Structure formats: structure tokens, C-alpha cells
């Protein structure tokens, strides 16, 4: 049951009805039941595993709380053992076959006649997300930034909160748990925000991402018969697709939480308007970046222990980010690529200080960053290094711009004359989306009055509803980040 | 909050209005070079070629104009099935178009399918009653449900409508009286010989069989000279056992009608330069085939006179 299905609409409507008809005190129980039902809709085994993880980490949190002042060592043991167990389970379900495949490749290099069999495991939806949430909770309790939650249901709602199960955001425990405990009531400002975010999120996903997905899948599925220009366009479209897919999901997720009166932090902040890679990572998948910064980068020493160690720490968090995204060497490479670019990037504040023709410099930097990010996405999307390099080779050596080549590139959408209509519609939608984002980041809406911003939000909501109904591609693609 | 609900409702109403315009008056948007409305605009058509993309790519309108007396027009939609061709003919007649000769595409792969739309441009071009008839066929014979209803009446052609001004100029430049006037180049034997064929089918669909008979009946009632035409397929497909079997099944339905079989028209279906793929002809193949098809039609006419 993903967010773009009729079943989910029915589920959500029923949830909201029961939720707001219930007394405020029992609303967290309603959410908990909803979370479990949502999980069961994927697979009962998945639900059992998630609840089991929740129970273990809940108990561990209480033990850490109990010992953190009197017996720090015991608390540390509880923290280490539980985090190790979480990572072990995550490793087994997500990376076991990756390691087996890697070992088999190494054995092949040495001409060994033996190979290890792959292990058939069921896919655990959301394991990457709830595992990180649990780790975040345990660390925060250990550090004394919050007290361990004594109510299992409140804790369960934090870990298993259904709007965040499939693809995050990975929210901080303090804020979410305190909201679950104290303020589960109707909030008009959040409900307004929900309407805008849901319309915008579904538009990004159903109209732009799903339309781009058809094109991208065709090209990446058969690179041999594609022209250089087609590969270039597919690479560009994938950048658009993954952004609209994931930020669309995040908008929906934040909007759904807001419908229940819960405020969740933003996960994206117009990342394709970034002026360099460092800036990009402050705006892309903010919750994961914050997690990696708070729980890996800073404990490793951050930027405090010299330039070499800072570079090492940056590379470590980006390798971890790459591995977190997927169990393949292409993801590891993608992480390393971003790590290196990050080390080479200046701080954004230094760029903002540049004077004269700022907007031209900014445009050039935005374009340059987008191209670098797009290059990284090729490795992220391709099933193998061979395919990624094939696409890059085609882009570099076989791209020619002529009327015929452009026609051939556009024709990939549907294979007939309707391709042009799909292409132009996509271009218009992407333009409108980025134009709006630009206005929010740099333009007239950045510091506009509330009234003006609200008018714009109302117009955008109406437009998104129209676009979803008329141009939405329903039931064709799942969310990309649900796979990670 | 009321303002936000109003914004959502306004978006829905605009979408509804958009779909109503598309479904009720979209087909009246001018288009003088391609599709059904252009045919209706002609009012009198001496030679109406009606079929799938095989006709658009396989029949050359300029050669028809050069070698056939009277007005010619090629009406084609991708994967056009007999049930749809029947409805298209009915719509032309409803709009008082006078048709002297009709040449109907006999294409086994579209006739072997249950009623379904392959080309959404057809939905755009049909008037509302035509749309309803085609959709009812889909419901009756193909178990179409809500998703199909949504695709048919809400989703289809929205991109086309938004981009109509752009499309109009493109169609004007690429088509003339329904025929493709682009210089499409042929393929090579390496490519064509390695292309997979679409494979076997269970047989000609009973609903399509019935529609073919209805087309014959309609033409008789309206005094239209009806010819069935089979555009030659590349030999790697045309010589397969299943293609031959399916084609003979299709031929048996129209055995009493005038029929220009592929092998009766002089044409080298082993020449890769004549083909873009296994089905569609190149510009060179199109011109050659059309010229020889006209000769074959003249022969059929002569045979009729003798009878």
C-alpha cells in the first residue's frame, strides 16, 4: 500500500475519521494501530520484524536511561550492543547478498571453482529508515539530550509512524515523541500546510516523476540502441525524476503527518538551486545528511582535528551514505564521488560574499552543480559500471544536435507523434516547479508577506490538483527511495 | 481553511471543464491534414483508405493523387481495429461525407486482439457518441473497468490538448491528406533479419470478425465500393506459418469481397530498403507499393466488369 494508490486513500480517510472522532488521549493508540495495519499491508513478517525491533530498542532505551548516570559503562554497553544488533540486522537484510556477490567476484578473479550461493530473504520495507530512527533515539537518550520514552505506544509511534515508514524523513526523536505525547489535536495551520504539501507532492510524483520514469527506464534498459543525445536527455531526466520522486514523497509524508497535527521537519530545500556540492548536501535529503553529520561525522572528530582527518571524515560519511542508498558498488562509487566533490567545495558563505554580477555567477554555479550532480546520478541509476560508462561514452562521443537527433530523442516517450506532447508537457511542468522554487529561494516570495505567500500557495494547490487529475500517471511506479 | 478547500475544488472544476471541452468539442478543433476531422472537412472522398499505421506508412498520398482520379484520403490510427474502423466509417457517414471507394486495411495483428485503443488520437477525433460506442465495446468485450474509463475519458489526449497549437503546425508539415510525406529511410537486412516477429495469436477475435462483416454490410447499404488491402510485410514475418494461418483465417471472413492481397501486388518484400521495420514501409517502398497497388486495383475493377 503505497501513497499513490486508491487503497491508501481509503486507509487514510478511515484513519483521519477515527482519529478526530477519538478523544485526544487515545489518539496515539489510533496512530499505533494504523501504523501496524499499514505495515501488515506490505507483509505480516515485515510488521512482526518492525514491532520486534521497536520492542528491543524500547527496552534498551529504558536500560540506557536507568544506567546512564549511575553506571555509564553499562549504559554504553547497552547502546553499543543494541546499535550493533540493529546494524547487523540491517546488514543481513540489505547487504548480505552484496557481500556474497563481492566474494564470488573475488573468487572468480582467483579462478576458484567454488562460489557462495545467494541467500533468499524477504524485503523489509522501511528497514533503512526505522533502523536509523532507533539509533538516533538511543544515542540521544545516552547523551542525555532526552529522557527515554516510558510509554511503548508513544515510542512505537515515533519508530513506526506510517507516513515516514517507506522513505523517511528520518526525524529526530525529541520533537516527534513530545508531539505524540502532548499535542495530537487539530491544528489549522498544519492542516493548511498539509493541503499544499499533498497537492505539490502528488504532482511531483504522479505528473513529473512517473512521466520521466517511463523515458529513463526505456533508455537505461537498452543503452545500446540509444543515441548520445537520448542518453544525455535521459541522464538529465533522471535528475528530475529522482528529485520529484523523493521530494514528492517527502512532501506527502510531511503533509500526512501535518494532517494528524504532527509537524515534521523538511527534507528538501530546492537542492537543484545549490551553488556547489556542499550547498547541495545541505538541501538534499536533509534528514539523512543531519543523521550522518550528528552520529558519524561529529563523533569522528568532524573538522576539528586537522584537514586530513576532516577529509577522511567527509569521505567516511559519504561512503556510508552511498552504501545506505543501495547494496552495490555503483552506490559506493556515487558516495565516494560526492565525498570528493564535497572536499573540493568551498563553504557557501564564501560564495555569497562574491560581489558584482552575483546572479550571473550564481546561475553558472547552479548549472555547474547540477551537471556534477547529474553525472553522479548516472552511476546511481545504472545497474553496473559498464552501463554507466557506456552512457557517459555515448554522451561525450556520440552526441550530435540536429533536427533528426532531437526528433529521435523525443520519440522515446511513446514511440509516436504523441511523444512531443508528453515532452512539452513535462518541460512546462518542470519549468513551473523550478520557477516556483526559485521564487521561494531567491525571488519575490523569499521575504514576501504572509498574505502574498498564501495566495501563491492557494494558486499552486489548485494548479497541482488540476495537473494531477489531467496529467497524473497512476499506478505505474513505486517510490524510488522505498527501495533504499 | 475554507480558502484551501476552495482551491482544491477549483482545481478539480478546471480539470472537469478541461475534460468536458476535450470530450465534447475537442474533435471540432481544426485539423486539415490528418485524422478524421480532416476527412470530414473534405465532404466528398473518392478513395478513402482507412486503416492502421501500415496505411499511413505504406500508402503514398502523392502517388495516389498522381495516378488515381478524384480525391483521395488516408485515414489511419495506430493499431486501428475493425471495430474502430466501423465506428470511424459510421462517424464519417453521420457527418454526411460522401465516399465512393473505401479501401480497408486487413491487418491480422489488430484483428486478433480484443477491442482496445492503441492510438489515443482516435479518441480525440471521435465525436462523443462515437467515443461512447467504442468504450461500450471495450466494456462489453474486454472487461474494461474504472481504470480504462479514467484513461479513456479523463486522461487521454490531455497533453495533446495543451500542446494543440504546436501539434497543429507539426501535423500540417508532416502529413498531407492523412498521408505521411516525410522522407523516411529504409533499413538494412542485418537489422530487419534480426528483428523478432510479434509471434502467434490464438486466432482472429470474434468481435473483430463481426465488425468486418458489419463494415461489408454498411458499405453495401451506403453504395460504397469496398476493397480490402493487405500491405506487404517483410518476408521474415510474412512467411511464418502462424502469420499465414492467421491471414487465411482473416481472408475467409471477407472471401466474397474485393481484396488486394499482398502477393498479388508486384512488390519485393525481401528488399530491406523498402522497409523501416517488419511492418512499415520506407518512403521508397511506399511509393513503389502504391503505384503497383493502384495497378492491382484497376485489375480488380476490370475483373468485376468481366464478371
Give the pLDDT band of residue A192 (cuts 50, 70, 90): very high
For the segment A98-118, the average pLDDT, to the nearest whole number, is 81
Give how many domains chain A has, as a whole number.
2
pLDDT of residue A479: 55
Per the DSSP assignment, residues forming a β-bridge with B98 are: B44
Average pLDDT, chain B: 90
Question: Phi-psi bin for B79: left (phi > 0), alpha (psi -120 to 50), beta?
Answer: left
- Of A140, A158, A185, which residue is a domain's last? A185
Q: pLDDT per residue over B203-215, tens digit each?
A: 999 999 999 999 9
Give the pLDDT band of residue A275 (cuts 50, 70, 90): confident
Contact status of A447 with chain B (Cβ, < 8 Å):
no
**Does A467 lie in the same domain as A445?**
yes
**Does A158 lie in the same domain as A40?**
yes
User: Exposed, middle or buried, B228 (CB in 10 Å: 0-12/13-18/19+)?
Assistant: buried
List active site positions of A: 325
**Does A216 lie in the same domain as A77?**
no
Distance in angstroms (rounded) separating the CA atoms of residues A82 and A56: 8
Cβ contacts of B11 on chain A, cutoff 8 Å:
199, 461-466, 469
pLDDT of residue A352: 56
CB count in 10 Å sphere of residue B290: 25
Of residues A27 and A442, the one with the higher pLDDT is A27
The SS3 assignment for B45 reads strand
A:B CB pairs within 8 Å? 87
For the segment A357-369, the average pLDDT, to the nearest whole number, is 82
Residue A466 in this model has a pLDDT that exceeds 90: yes
CA dihedral sign of residues A217, A201, A420, B135: positive
C-alpha cell at A279: 550547498
A331 domain-assigned:
no
Q: How far does B302 lie from chain A, in Å, by closest CA? A: 39
Give the pLDDT band of residue A127 (cuts 50, 70, 90): confident
Residue A481 in this model has a pLDDT that exceeds 60: no
Contact status of B8 with chain A (Cβ, < 8 Å):
yes
Percent of chain A with pLDDT over 90: 46
Among B4, B15, B57, B80, the residue to mutate for chain A (most A Cβ within 10 A): B4
For the segment B3-8, the average pLDDT, to the nearest whole number, is 93
Give the pLDDT band of residue B134 (cuts 50, 70, 90): confident
A457 domain-assigned:
yes
A284 domain-assigned:
no
Residue B50 in this model has a pLDDT that exceeds 90: yes
A22: containing domain: 6-185
ipTM > 0.90, yes or no: no
Taking a C-beta distance cutoff of 8 angstroms, is the pair B20, B251 a contact?
no
CA dihedral sign of residues B212, B214, B218, B220: positive
A351 domain-assigned:
yes
Smallest Cα–Cα separation from B241: which of B200, B302, B287? Answer: B200
- Cross-chain Cβ contact B7/A418 below 8 Å: no
Chain A residue with the nearest C-alpha to that of B182? A404
A287 domain-assigned:
no
Contact status of B20 with chain A (Cβ, < 8 Å):
no
pLDDT of residue B76: 92
CA distance to A289, B127, B163, per residue, from A297 (Å)? 10, 65, 50
A282 domain-assigned:
no
Distance in angstroms (rounded) separating the CA atoms of residues B176 and B114: 31
Q: Shortest CB distance from A461 goes to which of B7, B78, B150?
A: B7
Contact status of B149 with chain A (Cβ, < 8 Å):
no
**Does A151 lie in the same domain as A270?**
no
- Cross-chain Cβ contact B18/A470 below 8 Å: yes
| DSSP strand pairing (B258-260 vs B179-180) | unpaired
Contact status of B2 with chain A (Cβ, < 8 Å):
no
A121 domain-assigned:
yes
The beta strands (E) that lie in B81-165 are given as 98-105
Residue B291 in this model has a pLDDT that exceeds 90: yes
For the segment A328-356, the average pLDDT, to the nearest whole number, is 78
Ordered DSSP codes for A388-448: HHHHHHHHHHS---SHHHHHHHHHTTTSSTHHHHHHHHHHHHHHHHHHHHHHHHTSTTSS-
Contact status of A411 with chain B (Cβ, < 8 Å):
no
C-alpha cell at B103: 479501401
Of the CA atoms within 13 Å of residue B62, those in its CB half-sphere come to: 13
Q: How far does B279 lie from chain A, in Å, by closest CA? A: 15
Q: pLDDT per residue over B171-224, tens digit each?
A: 778 889 999 888 888 888 888 888 888 888 889 999 999 999 999 999 999 999
Distance in angstroms (rounded) separating the CA atoms of residues A178 and A28: 12
Per the DSSP assignment, residues forming a β-bridge with B176 are: B179
Give the pLDDT band of residue A104 (cuts 50, 70, 90): confident
Q: How far does A464 lie from chain B, in Å, by closest CA? A: 7
- Of A185, A206, A237, which residue is a domain's last? A185
Distance in angstroms (rounded) separating the CA atoms of residues A426 and A75: 54
Taking a C-beta distance cutoff of 8 angstroms, is the pair A201, A462 a contact?
no
Ordered DSSP codes for A336-374: HHHHHHHHHPPPHHHHHT--SSHHHHHHHHHHHHHHHHH
- Of A142, A170, A185, which residue is a domain's last? A185
For the segment A225-236, the average pLDDT, to the nearest whole number, is 90
Smallest Cα–Cα separation from A361: which of A342, A344, A374, A348? Answer: A348
Of residues B30 and A417, the one with the higher pLDDT is B30
Among B3, B9, B11, B183, the residue to mutate for chain A (most A Cβ within 10 A): B11
pLDDT of residue A476: 58
Distance in angstroms (rounded) separating the CA atoms of residues B65 and B74: 11
Percent of chain B with pLDDT over 90: 56
**Does A470 lie in the same domain as A421?**
yes
Q: Shortest CB distance from B7 goes to which of A428, A462, A469?
A: A462
Distance in angstroms (rounded) separating the CA atoms of residues B2 and A456: 16
Contact status of A191 with chain B (Cβ, < 8 Å):
yes
Distance in angstroms (rounded) separating the CA atoms of residues B45 and A254: 60
pLDDT of residue B293: 95
Give the pLDDT band of residue B93 (cuts 50, 70, 90): very high
Residue A112 in this model has a pLDDT that exceeds 80: no
- Cross-chain Cβ contact A196/B155 below 8 Å: no
**Does A64 lie in the same domain as A39?**
yes
Contact status of A192 with chain B (Cβ, < 8 Å):
yes
pLDDT of residue A164: 87
Percent of chain B with pLDDT over 70: 100
Tell the residue number behind the cell numbers 584537514, with chain if given. Answer: A307
For the segment A220-231, the average pLDDT, to the nearest whole number, is 86
The SS3 assignment for A474 reads coil
Residue A351 in this model has a pLDDT that exceeds 90: no
Cis before residue A169, ω within 30 degrees of 0? yes
From the centroid of its chain, how far is CA A97? 23
Q: pLDDT per residue over A74-86, tens digit each?
A: 999 999 999 999 9
Of residues B227 and A345, the one with the higher pLDDT is B227
**Does A217 lie in the same domain as A121?**
no
Among B2, B5, B8, the residue to mutate for chain A (most A Cβ within 10 A): B8
**Does A180 lie in the same domain as A195?**
no
Q: pLDDT per residue over A24-71, tens digit each?
A: 889 999 999 999 999 898 889 888 999 999 999 999 999 999 898 888
Give the pLDDT band of residue A383 (cuts 50, 70, 90): confident
Q: pLDDT per residue over A317-337, tens digit each?
A: 999 999 888 778 899 999 999
For the segment B9-34, the average pLDDT, to the nearest whole number, is 89
Contact status of A469 with chain B (Cβ, < 8 Å):
yes
The structural domains of chain B, with segments of one domain joined by +, span 31-306
Q: A100-103, long-range: CB within 8 Å, 24+ apart, which pairs?
A: A102/A329
pLDDT of residue A324: 84
CATH 3.40.50.1110 correct for B31-306 = yes
A289 domain-assigned:
no
Smallest Cα–Cα separation from A165: which of A36, A28, A268? Answer: A36
CA distance to A221, A325, A383, A399, B173, per residue, from A391 (Å)? 11, 21, 12, 11, 33
Q: Shortest CB distance from A458 goes to which of B7, B19, B155?
A: B7
Of the CA atoms within 13 Å of residue B247, those in its CB half-sphere come to: 22
- Cross-chain Cβ contact A466/B11 below 8 Å: yes
Residue A483 in this model has a pLDDT that exceeds 60: no
CB count in 10 Å sphere of residue A382: 22
Of residues A461 and A167, the one with the higher pLDDT is A461
**Does A115 lie in the same domain as A33?**
yes
For the segment A294-308, the average pLDDT, to the nearest whole number, is 86
**Does A210 lie in the same domain as A173?**
no
Contact status of B202 with chain A (Cβ, < 8 Å):
no
Give the pLDDT band of residue A412 (cuts 50, 70, 90): confident
Q: pLDDT per residue over A2-25, tens digit each?
A: 787 888 899 999 999 999 999 988
pLDDT of residue A13: 94
- Cross-chain Cβ contact A458/B167 below 8 Å: no
pLDDT of residue A155: 94
Average pLDDT, chain A: 87
Residues 6+ apart with CB under 8 A from A56: A82, A85
pLDDT of residue B138: 81
pLDDT of residue A365: 87
Among A453, A466, A468, the residue to mutate for chain B (most B Cβ within 10 A): A466
For the segment A158-175, the average pLDDT, to the nearest whole number, is 86
Give the pLDDT band of residue A478 (cuts 50, 70, 90): low
Chain B residue with the nearest C-alpha to that of A418? B160
Amino acid at each position: 500500500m503505497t501513497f499513490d494508490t486508491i487503497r491508501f486513500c481509503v486507509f487514510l480517510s478511515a484513519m483521519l475519521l477515527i482519529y478526530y472522532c477519538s478523544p485526544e488521549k487515545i489518539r496515539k493508540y489510533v496512530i499505533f494501530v494504523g501504523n501496524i495495519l499499514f505495515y501488515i499491508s506490505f507483509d505480516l513478517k515485515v510488521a512482526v520484524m518492525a514491532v520486534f525491533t521497536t520492542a528491543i530498542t524500547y527496552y534498551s532505551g529504558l536500560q540506557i536511561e536507568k544506567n546512564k548516570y549511575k553506571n555509564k559503562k553499562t549504559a554504553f554497553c547497552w547502546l553499543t550492543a543494541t546499535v550493533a544488533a540493529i546494524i547487523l540486522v540491517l546488514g543481513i537484510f540489505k547487504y548480505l547478498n552484496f557481500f556474497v556477490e563481492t566474494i564470488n567476484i573475488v573468487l572468480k578473479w582467483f579462478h576458484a571453482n567454488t562460489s557462495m550461493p545467494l541467500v533468499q530473504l524477504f524485503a523489509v520495507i522501511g528497514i533503512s529508515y526505522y533502523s536509523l530512527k532507533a539509533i538516533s533515539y538511543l544515542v540521544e537518550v545516552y547523551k542525555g539530550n532526552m529522557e527515554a520514552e516510558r510509554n511503548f505506544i508513544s515510542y512505537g509511534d515515533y519508530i513506526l509512524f506510517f507516513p515516514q515508514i517507506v522513505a523517511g524523513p528520518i526525524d529526530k526523536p525529541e520533537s516527534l515523541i513530545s508531539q505524540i505525547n502532548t499535542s495530537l489535536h487539530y491544528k489549522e495551520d498544519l492542516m493548511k500546510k498539509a493541503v499544499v504539501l499533498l497537492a505539490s507532492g502528488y504532482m511531483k510524483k504522479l505528473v513529473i516523476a512517473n512521466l520521466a520514469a517511463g523515458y529513463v527506464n526505456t533508455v537505461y534498459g537498452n543503452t545500446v540502441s540509444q543515441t548520445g543525445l537520448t542518453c544525455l536527455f535521459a541522464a538529465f531526466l533522471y535528475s528530475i525524476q529522482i528529485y520529484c520522486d523523493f521530494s514528492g514523497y517527502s512532501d506527502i509524508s510531511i503533509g500526512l503527518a501535518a494532517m494528524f497535527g504532527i509537524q515534521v521537519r523538511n527534507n528538501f530545500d530546492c537542492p537543484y538551486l545549490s551553488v556547489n556540492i556542499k550547498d547541495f548536501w545541505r538541501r538534499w535529503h536533509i534528514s539523512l545528511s543531519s543523521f550522518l553529520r550528528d552520529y558519524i561525522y561529529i563523533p569522528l572528530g568532524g573538522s576539528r582535528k586537522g584537514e586530513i582527518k576532516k577529509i577522511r571524515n567527509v569521505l567516511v560519511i559519504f561512503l556510508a551514505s552511498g552504501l545506505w542508498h543501495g547494496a552495490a558498488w555503483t552506490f559506493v562509487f556515487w558516495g565516494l564521488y560526492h565525498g570528493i566533490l564535497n572536499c573540493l567545495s568551498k563553504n557557501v558563505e564564501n560564495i555569497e560574499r562574491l560581489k558584482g554580477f552575483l546572479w550571473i555567477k550564481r546561475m553558472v554555479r547552479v548549472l555547474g552543480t547540477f551537471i556534477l550532480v547529474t553525472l553522479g546520478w548516472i552511476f546511481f541509476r545504472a545497474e553496473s559500471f559498464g552501463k554507466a560508462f557506456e552512457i557517459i561514452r555515448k554522451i561525450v562521443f556520440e552526441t550530435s544536435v540536429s533536427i533528426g537527433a532531437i526528433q529521435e530523442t523525443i520519440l522515446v516517450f511513446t514511440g509516436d507523434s504523441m511523444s512531443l506532447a508528453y515532452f512539452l508537457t513535462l518541460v512546462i511542468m518542470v519549468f513551473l516547479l523550478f520557477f516556483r522554487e526559485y521564487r521561494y529561494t531567491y525571488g519575490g516570495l523569499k521575504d514576501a508577506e504572509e498574505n502574498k505567500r498564501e495566495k501563491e500557495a492557494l494558486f499552486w494547490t489548485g494548479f497541482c490538483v488540476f495537473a494531477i487529475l489531467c496529467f497524473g500517471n497512476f499506478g505505474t511506479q513505486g517510490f524510488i527511495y522505498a527501495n533504499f | 481553511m475554507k480558502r484551501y478547500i476552495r482551491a482544491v475544488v477549483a482545481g478539480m472544476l478546471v480539470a472537469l471543464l478541461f475534460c468536458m471541452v476535450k470530450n465534447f468539442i475537442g474533435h471540432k478543433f481544426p485539423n486539415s491534414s490528418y485524422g478524421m476531422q480532416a476527412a470530414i472537412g473534405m465532404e466528398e472522398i473518392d478513395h478513402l483508405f482507412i486503416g492502421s499505421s501500415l496505411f499511413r506508412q505504406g500508402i503514398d498520398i502523392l502517388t495516389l493523387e498522381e495516378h488515381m482520379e478524384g480525391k483521395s484520403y488516408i485515414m489511419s490510427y495506430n493499431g486501428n481495429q475493425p471495430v474502430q474502423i466501423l465506428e470511424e466509417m459510421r462517424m464519417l457517414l453521420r457527418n454526411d461525407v460522401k465516399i465512393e471507394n473505401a479501401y480497408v486495411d486487413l491487418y491480422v495483428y489488430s484483428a486478433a486482439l480484443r477491442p482496445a485503443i492503441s492510438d489515443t488520437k482516435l479518441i480525440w477525433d471521435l465525436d462523443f457518441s462515437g467515443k461512447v460506442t467504442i468504450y461500450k465495446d471495450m466494456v462489453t468485450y474486454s472487461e474494461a473497468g474504472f481504470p480504462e474509463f479514467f484513461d479513456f475519458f479523463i486522461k487521454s489526449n490531455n497533453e495533446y490538448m495543451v500542446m494543440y497549437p504546436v501539434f497543429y503546425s507539426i501535423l500540417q508539415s508532416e502529413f498531407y491528406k492523412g498521408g505521411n510525406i516525410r522522407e523516411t529511410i529504409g533499413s538494412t537486412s542485418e537489422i530487419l533479419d534480426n528483428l523478432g516477429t510479434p509471434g502467434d495469436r490464438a486466432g482472429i477475435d470474434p468481435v473483430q470478425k463481426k465488425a468486418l462483416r458489419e463494415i461489408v454490410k454498411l458499405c453495401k447499404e451506403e453504395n460504397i465500393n469496398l476493397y480490402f488491402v493487405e500491405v506487404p510485410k517483410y518476408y521474415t514475418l510474412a512467411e511464418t506459418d502462424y502469420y499465414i494461418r492467421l491471414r487465411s483465417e482473416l481472408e475467409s471472413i471477407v472471401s466474397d469481397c474485393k481484396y488486394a492481397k499482398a502477393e498479388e501486388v508486384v512488390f519485393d518484400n525481401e528488399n530491406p530498403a523498402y522497409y523501416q521495420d517488419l511492418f512499415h514501409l520506407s518512403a521508397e517502398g511506399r511509393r513503389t507499393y502504391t503505384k503497383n497497388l493502384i495497378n492491382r486495383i484497376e485489375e480488380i475493377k476490370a475483373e468485376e466488369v468481366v464478371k
